[in-house]
Each structure stands twice: as C-alpha cells, then as structure tokens.
Amino acid sequence: MWFALLYPVTIPSNPGGCCWAHPSPVPPWNAGDGLLSWPGRPQRFPSVFQAVSDVLPKTFSLAPLGTAAGKLLPEGGEKTPLALKNNPNTGAKQERCCCPARQRLEAMAGAHTGLCRVTFTSHLPWWRSGVPRQPGRILPRAWARCQPPSDRGVSTSAGQGQRVGVREERVSGELGTPRARRGMETLFREQPETGNQYLEDAWLRSYLRTHLPAKVLQEVDRDLERFGHRLLTQIRALGWECELNPPVLRQYDAWGQRVDRIITCSAWRRMKEIAAEEGLVAEAYERRYSNWSRLHQAVKLYLFSSSSGGFNCPLAMTDGAAKVIESLGTPGSLKNAFGHLTSRDPKKFWTSGQWMTERRGGSDVANGTETVARKQPDGTYRLYGFKWFTSAADSDVTLTLARVVDAEGQGSGGLSLFFLKVRDEEGKLNNIQVQRLKDKLGTRQMATAELWLDGAKAELISAEGRGVASISNMLNITRIHNVIGAVASMRRMLSLSREYARRRVAFGKLLKDHPLHVQTLARMEVQTRGAFLLLMDIVRLLGLTETNMASEQDQLLLRVLVPAAKLYTGKQASAVVIEAMESFGGQGYMEDTGLPVIVRDALVWQQFPG
C-alpha cells in the first residue's frame, strides 16, 4: 500500500521546480542521507526526512521522488490509496491523507514554497482490495488518530442536476479500479451542446413572425426548421472536417510538370454541393417570395455561416458575381455563367472569386492595380499581372480588374472589369500560376493564394475604364455577407456561452446564478441583437431595391448603411467573440474545443472585403 503527502518543504536553494512521482521500481534509497534530486540539482534537507522517519512505523520505508531517486517497492506488495479527492484544477483523483503525521510535516515546512511529494510504500502485501482493513496492524501510531476520509466536493458529472457538497464515494468502492483509469474517469467539464439553431434562436423567429407575410412565413419557417436540422446532423461535422484538413498546393507532378493543383478535402467539396442544394445563392435570384427572397436567403446564410467551414466566403463572392452580371443586363455571353452561379444542381453549380488585391494592396484599387489587359484579334483579352490576395482560389470563375493597354503598352485612364474562367475544358489552368497559398490567422479552411496571370484569357464585361463602378455591386453584396458572418459569429459564441452557464458550477452554484456573469451575457446579447436588427434592415432594403419597390430614400439609406454596418459589426464581432471565449475560462483557449477557431475566423470580418 502507498499514499502520498503533498506539502511545502524547507529548501534553502530551491530552484522553484516541483518533483512529482512516477511509479517505477528503483534501487533502495537511504532515508538517513536526506537527499532528493531535482533535475540536475541535488538538495539536502535531512530534518524533514528525519521527521518522516520518526512518525512512520517500521513496516514502512521512506522513498523520495526525483530524477535520481524513486520509491522502494516491496516484493509482492500492492499499491492502494487510502483516500481520494478531486483535484480542483484537473478533475483527476489525487491521494490524500489527513493524519497527524502530515500535519507535523506541514507545520515544519509551511513557510516555504518548494513542493515535494513523499511516497510511503507498504511492505505488507496482504492489504489489498477485498481484504478488511486493519488500521492497528498497519499504522500502530498514526492511523488510530486519523479521521476517516469524508471530503466534500462538487459533482459536475451529468446534466443540470448538479449539487454542491455531495460526498465523494469512499475508497472502498474504487479499490478494484486500476489507478490509471481512476485518474481519467472523473468527469469535470461538460461540453455545451446546442440543438437546432433556428428553433433555439427566439430573437430570429420573433423577427420573422413580425415582418413576413403569413403565407411566406409558413413556407420559410418550415424550410428553416428543416435546414437547422441539417446543420445539426450533417453540416457542422463537415465544417469541422474542413478545419482539420485545410487545402494544400501541389505545384509539380511526379514527372516534374507544373500542375499547380490546389487539393481540398472531400468535406469542402461536399459543402459546395450542399450550398447548391439549399439554394444559398439561387434563393435570392429566383425571387419566389418577391422582395422577401433576399431576407430568406440572408437568414439561411446566417444559420449556415458558423458551421460552414469557411465556405461562406466563396458563396459571398459567387453571390456578388451573379449580382454584377444581373446588373449588366445578363449579356448573352454571360447568360450561361449566370445560370451556373445561381444553379441548384450540384453538378452545374459554379463558385466565383474576386481578384482585386495586388502587391501594393489596400482599398486604393485604382492606384494599386498593375495588371494589364491586351486585346486579341478575336475580341478577347489576355491578362498579365500579379494578384496578391485571391480568396477561394479553387473557384470555377472570377471577376477581376485590369488596365487595358494598346500594342505600345499605353494604358487607359481607368480600370476595366473582366470575367474569366479559371480552368479550360480540359481542366488545365488558364495561363495562371499559383505561387503559394497564404498562411493566414483564420479561415484556414479556404484556399487563399498568390496568382501570376501570364496571358490568362478573359472577357471584358464593363465599359472600358468603368471597372470600379461596375464591380461596386459585387462589393455591396460581399459586404452584406460580411455583416452576416459577423453577426452569425456573435450569435454562435453567445449561444455556446449561455448553454455553458447552465452546466458549469463555480463557487457553489451554476454560472447562470452569478449576477455578474449574467450581466456580461446580457450585455453581449444586447449587442448581438442590435447588430442582427441592423443586418435584417439592410437585407430588407436590398430586397426592395432588387424588385423595384424601394423609394429613393430607401436606396440612399441602403448605400450608406452597407459600408457602415460592415465596419461596425466587423469590429463588434471581434470584441463579442473574445468576451464570450473568456466565459469558458481556460477551456475557451483550448484548440480542440473548436472555440479558438470561431475567434480566429471572426477576426477576418474587420479585414475583408475592404
């Protein structure tokens, strides 16, 4: 049998380290030497170990624990703890003894900060599970004065019915369990679990009941409830798989041929299929519910965003590209592309990129764009330049800006907007070289690359020199998507924080019963609800504008609100999700909880799309 005492000891030159036990047989150690080894630093404190020897019966031997010393194991002996108590920091079971021997040791060394763990090893092999304990025979001097272990603690093992002060089970019930298992089976944290996001979002449902016509509400409510179930049972797991398997770039094949292939995981490709099936882009352009179709689409994207594994970004740019083509009157050459961008068929659905940022970077696109376009005899253009930051580089098509130049290299006064396919019919890149994938803080699920355009074939779709004005429709849509993502991040983290407060016990009661904690959650809830209402009002105005139902004042208000909301909610999301992360304590900082992923991804809303 063995048990351990954890106490401070007097060490004149203690390096501040701790010496912990690992049960492994080592050569016997002479207690009279008073030697305990820290890593590389032998320390002598004979007075403490002499005291230990004085209070122990002769049936026990003393063995210190360190790098050069270990414990003395009896032949045929078996280690069994006397009493167990939950470690408040790790939840693991740890040995505890409350006999006067321990009190004497603590009194001798209580004024110092060094930590030492002394193990007492029984030479009596017959004290084991199933054999009645006979304290008088084991500890003739100390045991008789020990109180039976009756520590009180907090049980957080299951559900909402946690109680404080529940007695931990006696050691006799655990003697048959291996010690390694006993240390890991104690449940000390409960993972917050949320259900159907739509059904649990009372604020969202209340807004829809207030604003949507009855017939539209009935159909939309049914669709969103079904979609919420799909998010819970299918999409969320795919999103986590995208996080665990980020894209990689394979520049050359086995024979040295440059292929520049961006390899994405199967979950990412499945996300694309789900986006098409759910009509996450198509819904806005089918206009089944007239001006309310945009709001229906926005709500689905709001629910989808935090579980999308980063696929909300290519959807934003795809929606923006479709909007630009629609605003141009859907010219014949782009009618086929528009059909692919707004398709519900996974086999036909295309995603689009938005290649604007170049090496000079920043929002000053007009002065920072170096890419040039040279007109060809067949009326098409060839693009030459370096795109510094291209999100969703695995997209099927893209819109990009370039300056048209003549044969002598003289450029026009402004930028023009071009449409190009990333790959040809054979799957080869359209004279595009992928230089590298960006190593980003967040949104690692999505491929963001540096691209070299070396004669990429493209089609001019704006008036020459009017590219920035033409692409503004795309920027408005992607900024609205940015607001959607920001609000969704706040809602997701707040939902998890609220659920955790219903489960986590601290200082004798659930977190939800601590007024200051509830006050913090309430403040974040107010901020999230305000941002949500701002988002819904913007989407409502967009729906009116797209169906020619908006007044001039509505159009002007929409123009002002979009960039302002993007700026405000982007900064607000960062503050809220970090505050929510703090509500989980140390668990909020643990990577495998998934919470840091939400925090990192939320920081992008301040940066994208300018």
Direct distance between the N- and C-terminal alpha carbons of the chain, in angstroms, rounded to an integer: 68
pTM strictly above 0.75: no
C-alpha distances in Å from residue 551, one per residue of 177, 211, 472, 547: 74, 19, 20, 11
C-alpha distances in Å from residue 485, one per residue of 299, 308, 477, 478, 489: 11, 10, 12, 10, 6
Phi, psi of 607 (to 5 degrees): -95, -40
Q: In whole angstroms, what is the distance from residue 272 CA to residue 274 CA?
A: 5
Phi, psi of 495 (to 5 degrees): -65, -40
Instruction: Give residue 425's identity as a one-letter amino acid code.
Output: E
* Residue pair 122/60 in contact by the 8 Å Cβ criterion: yes
Longest dimension (CA), the chain: 105
What pLDDT score was predicted for residue 312?
Answer: 96
Report the 10 Å Cβ neighbour count for 42.
13
Taking the chain (610 residues) in runs of 10, the rounded mean pLDDT of each run is 38 38 38 39 42 42 38 38 41 46 48 40 38 42 40 39 39 46 56 93 97 97 98 96 97 94 97 98 97 98 96 97 94 94 98 91 80 93 94 96 83 86 92 96 95 96 92 94 98 96 93 96 97 98 97 96 96 96 94 94 86
* Residue pair 508/164 in contact by the 8 Å Cβ criterion: yes
Report the 10 Å Cβ neighbour count for 369.
23
**Residue in 347, 350, 353 with CA at minimum distance from that of residue 313:** 353
What pLDDT score was predicted for residue 361?
Answer: 73
Half-sphere exposure of 463 (CA within 13 A, CB side): 3
220-252 burial code (b ≥16 CB/10 A, e <16): beebbeebbebbbeebbebbbbbbebbbebeee
* Residue pair 118/5 in contact by the 8 Å Cβ criterion: yes
What pLDDT score was predicted for residue 64?
Answer: 40
The set of residues, in sequence order, having a beta carbon less than 8 Å from that of 426 and lying 6+ positions away, is none
Rg (alpha carbons) of the chain, rounded to whole number:
33
What pLDDT score was predicted for residue 610?
Answer: 55
